[in-house]
């Protein structure tokens, strides 16, 4: 399982999730979208970030709402281009 940041983070980028991440796997980006991204290979699936998000933008990939599933690919593409 991996955690995904989705649409509510776009343009917000509240970094409360970054502050609690024990492995620093949450990165700020502006392309393809101005939001935060969770590195899928670095994330240890601890879930500490999810309740810290004030805009409810972080989900386990298995719990991602249907209308947000495109963010799985957006997140993967962000790190593929790094």
Closest-CA residue to 42 (of 65, 6, 75, 68)? 75
Domains of the chain: 3-80 (3.30.70.20)
pLDDT the model gives residue 82: 64
How many Å apart are CA 30 and CA 45, to the nearest integer? 24
Q: Report the predicted TM-score, pTM, of the whole model to 2 decimal places.
A: 0.93
Query: What was the pLDDT predicted at 80?
Result: 86
pLDDT at residue 1, rounded to an integer: 66
Low-confidence stretches of the chain (pLDDT beneath 70): 1, 81-82
The closest of 9, 63, 59 to 36, measured between CA atoms, is 9
* Residue 2 confidence (pLDDT): 86
């Amino acid at each position: 399982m991996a955690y995904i940041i989705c649409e509510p983070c776009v343009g917000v980028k509240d970094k409360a999730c970054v502050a609690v991440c024990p492995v620093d796997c949450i990165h700020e980006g502006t392309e393809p979208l101005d939001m935060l991204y969770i590195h899928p290979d670095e994330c240890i699936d601890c879930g500490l970030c999810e309740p810290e998000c004030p805009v409810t933008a972080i989900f386990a990939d298995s719990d991602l709402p249907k209308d947000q599933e495109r963010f799985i690919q957006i997140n993967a593409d962000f790190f593929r281009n790094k």
